[in-house]
Structure 1
Amino acid sequence: MDALYRITESLDWISLIIFGCMLSVALARQFTTLPLTEFLSVYVSSRFIKISQDGRVDNHHSYRYIGLIIYGISISLIIFKLVDTPSSDRGFTDFVLILTAVSAFLIFKHYLSKLLATVASFDDLLTSIDHERNLYRAALSVLLMVVVIFMYYVFPSSNSFILVVAAIAGVVIFIYHFLVFYNHLNLITTSFFYFILYLCALEIAPYLLLYKYITV
């Protein structure tokens, strides 16, 4: 009974967070003339990425900023579900700590990447990569929010489902990273050594450390 009460109490604030995320997407749609379906077309086509990068479309920023926020929240909710157990006493404070850690991790990595790109003179390359990666993340946030809903409301007690879905989410995130770097392969060759240094130091090592922190 206590475990059921704790789960119900947890779902109260989780429901508010999910509702807030969905409301934010709806508000973003009201402040732009760009259809949400066109923004989400980055799942299957690079056309929107190209036209938004060269300035032909500049009304996507509300989707992008809100999507990036939801991306961080969704990742944090997935991590919270992975570390939460019926015997543990984790709550909103623990989620805030996870969200703070994830946000600090992404922000720190972003600005450290900028610094390295400036020192190694591949600013334009990193700007292009960040633009594409942020669009992928913002679009992916919608899918991740659906995943979160399934994890918390459809299969809340199925550990195997939670692990499989978390693994699939990790694979999808890896794939979009791969696509971003593959699309910039020609530009990468001009600064190959420094880019490999950036890749190892800021794209691979941090995620390995984060994985070790979560699993320990």
Structure 2
Amino acid sequence: MLRNIVSNELFTVLTVLGLVIVAIAKLTSPKRFEDFILVLGNNKYLKIYARDQKFLDKFDGLLFVNLILSLSVFCFIIYQYFTETKQIPINSMLQVAFGIGIIILIKVLVERLIASLFEIDKLIDEYLFQKISYKNYLGILLLPINALLLFTFTPTLTLFYVIITLLLIVNIIGLISSFKTHQSLIKNNLFYFILYLCALEIAPYVILYKVFLTL
């Protein structure tokens, strides 16, 4: 028997919308989607499609939209748990989704700009493709996770810790895979790559941590 749902209609609509978007991505690029699903255990997808990557890619774009929707739903499920809020205004949900999308896009644009300044465009372009691919993969994982949290499991703090740990592990696997794939390029540009990591991978999280401490 399903647990009682309180004002989760918006979450359900966004989760179903994310599922539809993923289905469209699969229908429009079935072979690529098949390779993408196996990206955690196989570098085939990264090796093949990194060469043909575009700044505006329909497949990545669709999965990116799902990532934004799924991540927004997950964040609000956590927010609802800690604040015991019964209703989430649709405006708040859309604002958060829009904010997440804008932050990620601005970060990617700044990363490309920094790469140009350091003259390591090729290295960073391939690194960004892999990083975005693994983030989109997290969006796929969040679809069933959100559905289970909404309709099956009662959210608990322990369950949130387990889910977040799982997502972090997937992200770390992606980073390690990226480093292994481009280790020769990274060694040749080690100084600039370290500067890049400090400026755009480590510093933002340090700043966010400081902000949360002041709240």
Identify the TM-score tier after normalising by the shorter chain.
0.7 to 0.9
**For residues 37-62 of structure 1, what are the alpha-carbon distances to aligned partners after superposition, in whole Å with 9 as ceiling and x for unaligned?**
3321212100121122234x99xx54
In structure 1, the partner of 2:198 is: 200
1:105–1:212 distance in 2 versus 1, CA, 3 Å? farther
Identity of aligned residues (%): 22
1:110–1:123 distance in 2 versus 1, CA, 3 Å? same
In structure 2, the partner of 1:170 is: 168
| Separation (CA, whole Å) in 1 of partners of 2:76 and 2:145 | 13
Q: Does 2:174 match 1:184? A: no
CA contact (8 A) 2:72 2:96 kept: yes
Amino acid at match of 1:127: D
CA contact (8 A) 2:123 2:185 kept: yes
| Separation (CA, whole Å) in 2 of partners of 1:121 and 1:89 | 51
In structure 1, the partner of 2:101 is: 103
In structure 1, the partner of 2:37 is: 40
| Separation (CA, whole Å) in 2 of partners of 1:185 and 1:179 | 10
* Offset, 1:68: 1.6
Q: Number of paired residues?
A: 207
* Offset, 1:110: 0.6
1:146–1:212 distance in 2 versus 1, CA, 3 Å? farther
| Separation (CA, whole Å) in 2 of partners of 1:51 and 1:87 | 46
Q: TM-score, normalised by structure 2?
A: 0.83
Amino acid at match of 1:67: L
* Offset, 1:8: 2.3
Higher relative contact order (CA 8 A, sep 6+): 2
Q: TM-score, normalised by structure 1?
A: 0.83
Moved more, 40-49 or 131-140: 131-140
In structure 1, the partner of 2:146 is: 148
Q: Aligned with 2:195: secondary structure?
A: helix
| Separation (CA, whole Å) in 2 of partners of 1:62 and 1:34 | 14
1:145–1:213 distance in 2 versus 1, CA, 3 Å? farther
> What is the alpha-carbon root mean square deviation over aligned residues?
2.5
* Offset, 1:172: 2.1
Q: Does 2:7 match 1:18? A: no
CA contact (8 A) 2:25 2:62 kept: yes
1:133–1:156 distance in 2 versus 1, CA, 3 Å? same
Q: Aligned with 1:54: secondary structure?
A: coil
CA contact (8 A) 2:130 2:174 kept: no
**For residues 26-47 of structure 1, what are the alpha-carbon distances to aligned partners after superposition, in whole Å with 9 as ceiling and x for unaligned?**
2222223426333212121001
| Separation (CA, whole Å) in 2 of partners of 1:183 and 1:214 | 35
1:189–1:12 distance in 2 versus 1, CA, 3 Å? same
